[in-house]
Structures are given as structure tokens and as C-alpha cells.
Amino acid sequence: MRMVPFSVNELSVCILSTDTTSKIQEISEFLKCPINPPRPEDYFFHMHIEGTRFYVRDGEKRTLEIDFDKNHLDYQRKGHRGKNELIAKALGYSKGCRKVLDLSVGLGIDSVFLTQLGFQVMGVERSPLLFVLLQNAFSHSVKEELRSYQLFHDESLSFLKAQNGKVDIDAIYFDPMYPHKKKSALPKQEMVIFRDLVGSDDDAADVLREALSWPVRRVVVKRPLNAEELLPGVIHSFEGKVVRYDTYVVG
């Protein structure tokens, strides 16, 4: 995993921790934010670090925590159908596609599920606070399939432009934020703070267009069931009850 400096001044964040280790200092430098400021109430987001537990709390006391082992957000799905899952079909598991780039890791729910299905996954996350939460969750998980996960902090479009042809993958997976989505499987407080941290994907079409220029076999976009195609050219849509996976076959 890599940590690239990123300014989050617009997010108004501080770190609250009793630790004074170099790791905390590194996170502070990455987020460009203070540790234990005299007036924490002046900051809307608080990054709490308590030993190995990391979580974010906002000014409305909503809390967001990522822990792949506690399974709070359904990271260990029971009774899944393996290669017959819609997401596995869309990504071409039965066609030999195994290495996947997730362009919008978010809370890691789909990324972790893909590793559970047997995919080797690397992911990109643009939100610095989510990146820190994810990095901590991956580093402390006991799940064997997550040990090889590669996490990058970057904008999806920037990553695609810089790494085209340099990354060994079979397929690209993209789940852009959809502004008109009415419902979510996330609990309400997690959904609110998640949207505040991630923002909107105004460049989603540009991201997809760039992804389609990569030398991969498939690009898959997750969409609400009744949403329009992000770009024309969908070869097949794998439809569930509330979402679908639009597949673009590249090579």
C-alpha cells in the first residue's frame, strides 16, 4: 500500500489520539491536519485513533468505522453462489478473468466480496480519510484472502492515465456514486458520512472512457437497476433486484 500526501483542508479534519507514535505523525502529515488540537469542536471530522481501532466521527456525531473482521457492513457474505454471482459473471470469472482493478473502493464491500469469490484485487480510493480507514482495516484483518490486496490513494481518472499499460489486470470494476439513488444497503449514519467524504462522481463518464482504453478484457460498471448506461457500448447487463452490472468487452 502507498500513502500519497493529499490536502483535506476543505474537509476540516483533525486527529484525536492518545498515541504519539510515528505512525500517527505519518497520518497527520498525509491528511495535513493537526493532532489533538485545543478546540476539536472547530473541526467537522474527527479521526479517532485508539490503538488498532480507527474511526471517523463527524460534527453530527455520526460514526464510520471499517473493520473487515467484525463484519458490521456485511463483509463476509454467507451462502454466496461463487462464480454464479452476478458480479463474478460480469467480470468474466468463468472466462478466466481473475485480476481486477476496483476504481472506487469506498468502504471496500465489493472489493472484499470479490476476494472472497476468488479474484485477486487491487483498488483505488480518492478520499484520504477513507483511505486511512481502509489501510488500517486491510493491515489488521485476519482474512487470508485480503493479505495480497493492493490499495492506492488517487483519483480514478489520474490513476488510469498514469498507469495505463503498467498494471497486470484482466478486468476493471467501477461503482460510481449515483446522485439520484434513493436507497442504500448501508445504515443511515454510515451512508450520510460516506457521501460527505466521497462526494459526487461528476467525472464518471470520463473515468469509464479512460478505463475502456486500457488493455483489459472487460470493464464492468455497477448501476442502479433503472439508471441509464454511463456510456453506450454495453455488451451485456447482469441484472439483480436493485442493481445491475453493465459489461463492456474490450479485448
Task: Go through 50-60 and write b for each residue having 16 or more CB atoms within 10 A of its CB, e for each that does not.
Answer: eeeebbbbbee
Residues of the chain with CATH 3.40.50.150: 82-249
CA–CA separation, 77 and 95 (whole Å): 23
Check whether 6 has a pLDDT greater than 60.
no
250, three cell numbers: 474490450
Per the prediction, the chain carries an average pLDDT of 88
Please tell me the predicted confidence (pLDDT) of residue 240.
93
Report, in this order, helix, strand and coil percent for the chain, each rounded to 5. Answer: 30, 20, 45
Percentage of the chain lying above the pLDDT 70 cut: 88
pLDDT in tens, 24-50: 999 999 999 999 999 999 999 999 999
Check whether 192 has a pLDDT greater than 90.
no
Mean pLDDT of 186-214: 82
Check whether 218 has a pLDDT greater than 90.
yes
- H or E, element range at 173: strand 171-174
Please, which pLDDT band fits residue 19 given cuts at 50, 70 and 90? confident
Q: What is the pTM of this model?
A: 0.88
Which amino acid is present at 15? I
Check whether 1 has a pLDDT greater than 70.
no
Mean pLDDT of 239-243: 93
Sign of CA dihedral 53, 176, 170, 98: positive
Number of C-beta neighbours around residue 93 at 10 A: 22
Please, which pLDDT band fits residue 21 given cuts at 50, 70 and 90? confident
pLDDT in tens, 94-132: 999 999 999 999 999 999 999 999 999 999 999 999 999
Residues of the chain with CATH 3.40.50.800: 9-65
Check whether 215 has a pLDDT greater than 90.
yes
Which superfamily is assigned to 9-65 in CATH?
Anticodon-binding domain (3.40.50.800)
Angle at 122 between CA 191 and CA 46, to 5 degrees: 35
Domain 82-249 has CATH 1.10.150.120: no
In terms of pLDDT, which residue wins out, 8 or 12? 12
